[in-house]
Amino acid sequence: MADYMKGIDVGIDNNIPHHEIVRKIGQSIYKSSTFSPGDSDLDIAIISNELFIRCSEIVFYKTKGFQDIRDFPLNKESNRSKFAQYKNCISKGIFRPDLMPYCPEKEDWFSFFNKLSQNYRCLFKSINAGIYQSQCFFEIKQSDVIEKYREGVI
């Protein structure tokens, strides 16, 4: 296991049953760019129902059961809350920490991944992670991206 993957397991403080970097294909299908050491991002998919629920509950309590959504980040262009985007992702079994409302746990998450990114700057521009509730949700998301690529949408 790569050092940065060991760091993620320790940093998240969770017993994730397994890690998988599905396959390094040498390019980003989504961005249509080839891998360039030090310039390309590493996006990691963490598949863990336990972590998905724990993070979702943090958001639920932080927003008082979604009654107070003021602390969700704002879209820079429209200046509107990203709450709708958060709900859309959650409904697809995807937890994106960047869509969390502002809270200490979000700060801790990004502090950890920023430090990890600094430690591996020669390999990756930044290291980020999202959480999938299950293998099924992960596979559905990946198949959607591949299908859009085949159709020429991305």
Give 109's contacts (C-beta < 8 A, 6+ positions apart). Answer: 97, 100
**Calpha distance 125→45 (Å, rounded):** 17
Cα 84 vs. chain centroid, distance in angstroms? 17
What percent of the chain has pLDDT above 70? 78
**Calpha distance 87→120 (Å, rounded):** 32
pLDDT, one tens digit per residue, over 20-63 is 444 445 556 556 667 778 888 888 889 999 999 999 999 999 99
pTM of the predicted protein model: 0.80
**Calpha distance 22→131 (Å, rounded):** 14
Per-domain boundaries in the chain: 3-151
